[in-house]
Chain A
């Protein structure tokens, strides 16, 4: 079965810190995604990547960047964390027509 892992389940950072969220998938999927989940807003797409070193902005890319140096790994970077980036972050990878999700990282920015 496909496995998508995220480096941390819970993370607490301070305002202004640089934050890395890592995601790894083991099924050789080309497409990978980062979402942010907030109550009442559902899942909002931050960035996605359809190949190594390729990325596309999603609906809310401001304040975030991504890196995909290897096919199995997709990293989300908060260059300077802010309190409004406190949220649940979900990574996913997809086969042609189905997404597989990681367990999520709950990030708190103080």
Chain B
């Protein structure tokens, strides 16, 4: 069965420090992978997506993610975190047909000055 695991429930980083949020997935075919961000009280905003091709994808707000098939991972990174990045981050896998999407349980990011 398809599943997405985000092993870190909560992460705290200092402003200006680098960030890596982990995501592992279980999916039988070639996955379509997504990272979303949710600010307090808001819906989910797409940060970036991977469908095929270059395994390092760039997204909005200075985020990037790397697809590693051998590790079944799609970790999100940012070289220098800003206070405005404090939010909840969700990793998701999409089925080939586009009818189903599976979400991780989310990682809550706190940024300290």
Whether a CB of chain A sits under 8 angstroms from the CB of B101 is yes
Q: Find chain B residues with CB under 8 A from A100 CB.
A: 46
Whether a CB of chain A sits under 8 angstroms from the CB of B32 is yes
Pairwise interchain contact B98-A42, C-beta atoms closer than 8 A: no
Interface residues of A in 17-51 (CB under 8 A from B): 31, 33, 35, 40-43, 45, 48, 50
Chain A at the B interface: SS class:
strand
Digitize B82-108: 1 where CB-to-A-CB distance is under 8 Å, 0 elsewhere.
000000001010100011110111100
Once the chains are docked, how many angstroms separate the CA of A104 from the CA of B41?
Answer: 8
Given contacts A97-B51, A103-B43, contact A40 B98 (CB under 8 A): no
How many chain-A residues does the 8 Å CB contact rule pick out? Answer: 26
User: In the complex, which of the residues B43, B49, B105 has the most CB atoms of chain A within 10 Å of its own CB atom?
Assistant: B43
Residues of A within 8 A of B (CB): 4, 9, 31, 33, 35, 40-43, 45, 48, 50, 90, 92, 94-104, 106
